[in-house]
Amino acid sequence: MDPILKSEIGHLLGTPVIASRPLSGGDISNVTYLETAVGRFICKWNSGPRAMSLLQAEKEGLEAIAQTQTVKTPEIFHCAQVGDRALLIMEYIERKKPAPEDMRTLGEHLAALHEIKQEAFGWQSQNYIGSLVQNNRPAPNWPEFFTRERLQPQMRLAVESGFLQQEEVPAYDVLETVLRDRCGGVQPSLLHGDLWNGNFLISRDRHPYLIDPAVYRGHNEVDLAMSHLFGGFSSDFYSAYHSVLKSPAGEEARRDLYQLYYLLVHLNLFGRSYYPAVRQTLRSYFRPGS
């Protein structure tokens, strides 16, 4: 970290930065560990055109989860613009390798988050999934929201980028009908929105924390679907979660449909290696007679 930025961060914190080092895991923003006389911090910073918007959305998502008093999130100290760079300064959480009991606690706490019923599907503002805009215009029901705000925008982007052909994209009414048949009657919960195994940590004192959210109000099974996508979480996590919130019939089919959103996101972010999985789900659920 350059001396000018380090000095500006020290000014924000009210204490000089004694030491800093880059940390891994910052695919979109840079992540730096900071040490001061009064404590240790994490600084995420970005100088891209959407830098402040990205970090402000992350701040709002972390605060929304923290306000439920169910799952912990890092305390936020500053979200500020310094020159051409946006900064998000948070507490540093020293992590440990998750033990089975830690994963059970995470499952119970996530279920407690999802148990708190929300008033409507969507969110008060747009945010981001990775570096892609995630629109959150409210909708009166879940199939409409997931079709209009999740699947359709990613499919349009995939066509524009040449990753999908227009004839592979189901019509809006086909998408919504399939979702209504399989995902109707859903009540909204506050979601983390991007719950893969890089977006939680266990602290040294054995508290689960959620990080890097893409929050909105939706079906609780979306978080579970994402958690299964890249290797999944441990069985301890799922058994603890379902001891609090039982899973209605049809979860496996809904999981495929919800994972389609994340596969489309990865297709748009990282390219054609995700196309076969996207094509398989489209053919399985949206072709005539599916």
Residues 138 and 244 in one domain: yes
Q: Say how far apart CA 199 and CA 52 lie, in whole Å.
A: 20
Q: Is 194 a catalytic residue?
A: yes
Residues 242 and 129 in one domain: yes
Return left, alpha or beta for 231; rule: phi > 0 is left, psi -120 to 50 is alpha, else beta: left
Residues 86 and 102 in one domain: no
Active-site residue among 84, 102, 173, 194?
A: 194
pLDDT computed for residue 289 by the predictor:
47
The residue among 91, 114, 148 that closes a domain is 91
What contacts 169, CB < 8 A, 6 or more positions away?
155, 156, 159, 282
Q: What six digits make up the tokens of 106?
A: 């995470």
The residue among 91, 109, 133 that closes a domain is 91
**270: burial class by Cβ within 10 Å (0-12, 13-18, 19+)?**
exposed
Q: Token match 């994963």: residue?
A: 103
pTM for this entry: 0.95
Residues 15 and 51 in one domain: yes
Phi, psi of 48 (to 5 degrees): -75, 175
The residue among 39, 63, 91 that closes a domain is 91
> Taking a C-beta distance cutoff of 8 angstroms, is the pair 3, 16 a contact?
no
Structural domain that includes position 208:
95-286
Residues 206 and 263 in one domain: yes
Geometric angle at alpha carbon 148, from 246 and 141, rounded to 5°: 45
**Mean pLDDT, contiguous 10-residue spans, the chain (290 residues):** 88 95 82 96 92 97 98 97 94 97 98 95 96 96 98 98 97 96 94 96 98 98 96 94 92 95 98 97 80
Q: What six digits make up the tokens of 50?
A: 């959407």
> Taking a C-beta distance cutoff of 8 angstroms, is the pair 64, 36 a contact?
no
Residue 128 is part of a domain; what is its CATH number? 3.90.1200.10
Q: Say how far apart CA 35 and CA 21 lie, in whole Å.
A: 9
Count of all residues that appear for the chain in the document:
290
Residue 34 is part of a domain; what is its CATH number? 3.30.200.20
